[in-house]
Amino acid sequence: MALTLRSSTSFMPPVDSKTHRASDELPGRLAFDVRKPAGRLRTLNASRQDVIERRTLLQHAEQAAELLHGTPAAHGDLGAGTARVPVYVMLPLDTVSLAGGLTRARALNASLMALRSAGVEGVMVDVWWGLAEKDGPLRYNWEAYAELVQMVERNGLKLQMVMSFHQCGGNVGDNCSIPLPPWVQEEMSRNPGIVYADRSGRRNPEYISLGCDMLPVLRGRTPIQVYSDYMRSFRDRFRDHLGRVIVEIQVGMGPCGELRYPSYPENNGTWRFPGIGEFQCYDKYMKASLQAAAVSVGREEWGKGGPHDAGHYNQFPDDTGFFRREGTWNTDYGKFFLEWYSSKLLEHGDRVLAAAQAIFHGTGAKLSGKVAGIHWHYRTRSHAAELTAGYYNTRHRDGYLPVAKMMAMRGVILNFTCMEMKDEQQPGHAGCSPELLVRQVKQATAAAGAELAGENALERYDESAYSQVLATSRGGDCTGLTAFTYLRMNKKLFEGENWRQLVAFVKSMSEGGRRVVLPKSDTARSDLYVGFIAGANKKPKVDAAVPR
């Protein structure tokens, strides 16, 4: 499965997702060498485990700082032709539980200690609307996030915090279900038109339709007002940490937090890679906007609805009249529709970012916004999958330059995915080109004067993926990365070879993209194995620190 996006869409009514065990997200145990006891090994009690955990991980951290990383370099130039790229790691989606507390706090703390010892700059966490404002309008609960901020600060790390105004659950990468706040769901039941709908009338409850951005559909407030109040409350609660511990606020603007339409929902097999997806413009507010736009250009007949020949979610471009080589996309009507559809998305992004800019101005925290890496059918003329998602990018038109200009105007970092992907790794029939897509986005951000940050789209632990990110992070003839966020912290990340690869990658990024390979065996422990001992002779291990 060659998906590039950690999307989280589902159709109404939402399908229940089985939450993975928390022990699958974080390392269930940290193992340390001990000499073989003369008698039967006795289980350590919890307090003694805590002491061993702290001492051992601190020793690893001290050794690593001295032997592997030395004094952390300042942001920016490290020397001729090099620039440091700080690396962050995404925390599990359920870091804050539905009950409102930190999930497995002791395991989380131990993992943060390990990440710090590896030279990681910080971590990213979703600040879920469905959790923080679930008790009612303007009733916020930030306490679990406050506990996390303090934990991150104690471990000497920084935080990227995502204003996640979307639903989590039901798709690749989602191991939990976090719907929108209950009071918002009640409004959705009373007025189904406030969520996106496709041509068949299927509604998607993951994110409020941008068609009603400026309408008081949420108990007397507009969605933009609701997002603004949420961000303002967050700012006031964490004012003392902004710019110091919380260094970046990523502003959610659509499904999965990305500035796009939910054009490729995976729930119940609605969409499968590499389908073209479907336009999401059939809720009553989007239809009213389309009608008004058609009237304004004197072509009222163009406002009756979206394209009738755009096909279905799992078709290919040539299967449709709209997206085929010489299809409707390149006619006067097609250009009108795509301009309207993409402009609505840009206007939505600008509204949300303008609110965030006003609220967080002067706090010292940077703002960022995420753009999806939709690389399938990129080699076709129409770029169908990008078009249905709202990016008016074709063989004849650059769809990412307007997005980059909008973000540059607001002083927002453009965060882009699929940085780890190579063209040669993609299926030939899908017309993929993640490398060309990333290159185009890099050129667009450079032309717009915007900053660019990156993420990997899929969970990858191999040297090939890291090498691709390293190559992408360099400026070259356009622009390099200001930061990279790795998806995602889980149990696998701390396994022996995976951990070794991450440590080498972080060191390489800290040295401006020069590839660093750590030795297979390191008696000084600078490779920071957690739970693994290199070498042929392995000693018995005692479970410590992290309860199951």
Residue 43 DSSP class: P
Question: Using an 8 Å Cβ cutoff, are 57 and 110 in contact?
Answer: yes
Which residue positions in the chain have pLDDT lower than 50? 1-47, 49-81, 520-548
Query: Which residue in the block uniquely carries the two structure tokens 């356009």?
Result: 478
pTM of the model as a whole: 0.83
Q: What is the pLDDT of residue 81?
A: 40
Task: Say what the pLDDT of residue 306 is.
Answer: 96
Task: Give just the sign of the alpha carbon dihedral 232, 366, 110, 4.
Answer: positive
What's the CA gap between 148 and 76, in Å, rounded?
28
Provide the pLDDT for residue 169. 80
pLDDT at 267: 83
Q: Tell me which fold the domain 87-273+344-518 belongs to.
A: TIM Barrel (3.20.20)
Residue 439 CA to residue 422 CA, distance in Å, equals 12
Sole residue written with tokens 């940490």: 241
Please state the residue numbers annotated as binding site for substrate. 126, 166, 174, 370, 375, 417, 456-457, 488
Condensed to tens digits (0 to 9), the pLDDT of residues 171-200 reads 566 678 999 999 999 999 999 999 999 999
| Pairing of the two strands 203-208 and 195-197 | antiparallel
Task: Report CA dihedral (444, 448, 451, 456) to the nearest 10 degrees.
Answer: -20
Catalytic residues: 258, 455
* Model confidence pLDDT, tens digit, residues 139-160: 999 999 999 999 999 999 999 9
How confident is the model at residue 269, as a pLDDT?
86
The chain-wide mean pLDDT, for the chain, equals 84
pLDDT value, residue 514: 54
Domain boundaries, given as residue ranges, for the chain: 87-273+344-518
Compute the distance between CA of residue 321 and CA of residue 24 in angstroms, rounded to an integer. Answer: 46
CA distance 486 to 87: 7
Query: What pLDDT is stored for residue 174 in this prediction?
Result: 67
- For the chain, report the end-to-end CA distance as a whole number of angstroms: 31
How many CB atoms within 10 Å of residue 494? 24
